[in-house]
Structure 1
């Protein structure tokens, strides 16, 4: 034997001795009351009594904790030998190791096993496993219990000897006390092998001498497994790192409650803190995926208000679109079902993050990504209980399907088959709700609800899903089927999306370049285009990438992109490339009060409360010849004399009049307000923006007929965005939120910078469409599409300063124009509407 092997053996023996020494006290004051070490020493110090005490020592190993029972009492049969058989399926059983059925040997290995016995809900003693043997996927072991008529619970704790030694139990401990004691720390390095596991056997009638075996003890891992699959985006993203943030720093070995070898709620140790950021790991499959690498303890779902800052999340890093700089993307545990709320992680579950699209560079650091909303990434989270998929609780039965989800084509007759791997002779299917609650009558042959048909073929070895109707709607048809087999319950999802391409039509900037479209299809697809200046590739997953050369002509360039899939469906998508727009728009603001834009392109000439906005407007990637809004930038000028010079001559060449928030009512007199109104009405390509935090623009509002305005001085909450068909340009379809950019998340509220803001009564002015409502329910940011007026009740919407109620998503984050929050997307889209209106382009 090697020295290291001998050392391991001695350490293991010492662990067992330490565990036993906790449970050997006796009221009788005889040899059984001594510690294990003392009993060994005593036996071998007395060679004459060697045999007697050796036998007594062996006997005491099994019954040393049962002090109050007289071994000579013939009414109770002592030392009934019970053979415990764990019928746990394993693809590759390992000699002398118990194994649960799992996807890797490391996840299923049982190197150590402790058996805790409870009578009447109190801990009594620890039984010692013997003769562990694995053969043909079934592991057996022997141990000795003491017969009793009291209710018994037997806890099986795998790979947990260190936890038990470090948290000694006391005879009489309740089950709740044992749960609280048996916890262990979770470090940033995580757990990657010999996972602690728990199983239980209960008998209300106790244990009698006639019981010979206990079968089908199923073990439950204490941790969850997290996999990442980025193969769908390998065309424009190279995966290089995976990391978890805000992970609990302790693990509870025994769950608070469980049913049928599964849990429905996390068990978090008292005092556990979600302060662990795991060590960065690299993909198992280079650049594409991570499998069986990241394992996490359970996590509770945070409140909705704290999801961004408190939820455990996964952050991936990689190279986007050929870049040499790694950027980072956050992914949340949000499978989308009521049974598995946002941020919750359950033991023995497997979570697969399938990255379906990456459209933008991510955050500069992993920490930044973890502390902000996901941007530039679309990821689907699939979760399932590993035992419900792989283990049966009736012994040697198992049931597996090739996939938990089915996607069908939009045409009737589209079908998809799942392969079943089982040794169950018969199983049933029934329609189900998304939470796994049965919603129909079980059938062992066929289900048909008029939308989908589900049938067993080939003696149940295949499940076929067929679409019975055509989906012509913009949203998918969805349903669920619940499989039941020998106590196993497997939930399958069905989806029939409409075959579509978004956006449709595809609008291309005159400068050309590359862009993306989103394809929703049930099968592989491809694109065809015959234009010399436009080409489209099939891309990867759901992303269609197109490229176009620069348009140097004086006319629109148009064409059609034909997209086909393997289901026989096709879509003709028109595309159009705009004429180069060299127009420079003149923007005029008032240099007094707050949030003026200043003169010239320098951001510093603007008031501090408008520098966030000016950064957006002067960034060429936003507003420029190659920008999201095609034009040649802005010429900023201002009025510097009080009262402000607003007359026909001054305003003649102005395209956008931005009346920020003057310092006093007299700064814009009635004559100036009338001149501004005449200017606006004089040309349909002029736009007016009016601030009204205070009443200092009262003359302008009066000239516009707006008198029912309330000015507030409080901080009663944020400004909720209105999501409807009248505001979708600002939340979804505008150039800064249309695909491949990220739409604004519903719900969204803008921060309230200071105590000053105004609200226009929406009932009095139905022509004003509220984009943001104030805390008192009326319009804070609104647009009058007909008159081309934007009303701004808090000019600090344009500021990059944090202020009250601020988080990383609800205000403009910088003065450089980078669009990295829902607030900046909204303001950029607002000015895109203003700009396109001034250009005469339909927004």
Structure 2
């Protein structure tokens, strides 16, 4: 019955989460009593200018107008302006008049964006995701105060029996800032900075919820990377520093094949080695692609391009520099999140930490990172009591019963690791330590909570019209397509995935959806944690469907996409959307033999020995999965199609039949019959899932269960 309720709630949300479904403004379901004045105190992102830059604006941290959008039980009901706005850095206070009531409320707070609200007024009954996507504006180099956003939840509603003051709300700017420094090079004089291919629209509110810093860009539908800035001059009095003048909207990373031509980038102008003519050099965001985000720009971040080396003259004009690979220049890019950088200055030194509170999931091995910005790399660490009184002597690392704190060699990060599980419901482990840097002592709190999200029910969508459809599991109904029944049994058996299962969670809710070419909606996809595009004909899953499911995947880091490529007639639009190139895809119409394990690596060992279903009982090194019939697909190795994919099972043609792109959270499923319990060609009792009740009794079932263990952990603990 619990699963039935969860699914029905999901279906209800889907039906009601549309632009044209209204909610009566006269509804009395929230027992409105009267308008209640509420005072809100918001923390405004700091503004730091390293030099007195002529022409620099003062818009970064100022709030001139406030609008509060009020949601009740997930639906938009009304908006109110902020009154009596008073700003004294780093906080701004204001008052709003809200309706009292006892239903859960959420406040979305917008600063400096009233014009956007007037143009794109939300409709009563809109869900949060719909409202966010509506509120966007053209990027015009922001010649007014910057739009900002914050949020606050009132889970028990709002009463009139107490003074209502809400503090601690952090605001995020809707744009990013770019600074350039060239103070470490002696053979180059910086004279100008220009941006290329910025997005022409920005979304005021990020897609991510409940965040103090974003991890993925939110880009309005239909926006283009077609805005080039002017060349901002850098005067000699600024000593090779360009600060607080160039601002950009969020931008996604383009496909790898289009990095040179499509990525947002910066071009610097300067004079190399005393030359009389200027040279131009391209610099890229995340140029080493360390975060799998080449060219990506995130809101509320300050990107500092620190030029470390210039080795030759550059291009003769900025356009040529922007349209070719970066060369002859080396720049370190620091992407600081201003909102969470707690900075201290004394005129001579500086010290900043990205957070003073680290909160862990309940699992042992959970890690947290504190970024440190300082010129004092000899700072020390000490455990401390609740009042912040240090204990013991200062050191470079700390080890306790529950946590370790390690300082990286250059002091730019502190890495905190949880040593034990916390499995006591309602409990919280707390340990404090202090950072001592000259005269500064900074208290940091580590907390590890019992994680209720570990008991989250995982919602998985598959499509009713295709082979491999997993069916639904409302009250145990069993309408899966025959080739999915082996996998279905593994997923709905709570000894595998359940509150007391091998993987602790609320279990899997399987939901079937009918295809509707290019008519699937963002609201529909938002209901699910996992989307399995099973053997669905290409004509039934169009380009727009592919784009929307890709946007759904990128919007949150705890979502997983499973893609079938069993035949040349399925998933072609989706593969075009997610793969850098499709030339490496190959489809087979003859059996050709079984699927052996890929060569053992640290990247795929989770599925063969380290995952929860193989702990202590690894797969046999010579394990092969049977090839059920004549049809399957392979991603050829060493091609653009295989880039970033870790192989698990290989095909008889030498390509990937089962693989995972960890960075993008995509599972590539090259044969629908991997999930089948049916015998097929060359079957033995060991080389395929051999039952429909989810019993893990051979290497094949262990392997597939480990794949979904990884999927489950990504949903539950992805950040």
Please, what TM-score do these two structures have when normalized by structure 2? 0.46
Greater RCO, CA 8 A, separation 6+: 2
Which is higher, the Rg of structure 1 or of structure 2? 1
Please, what TM-score do these two structures have when normalized by structure 1? 0.40
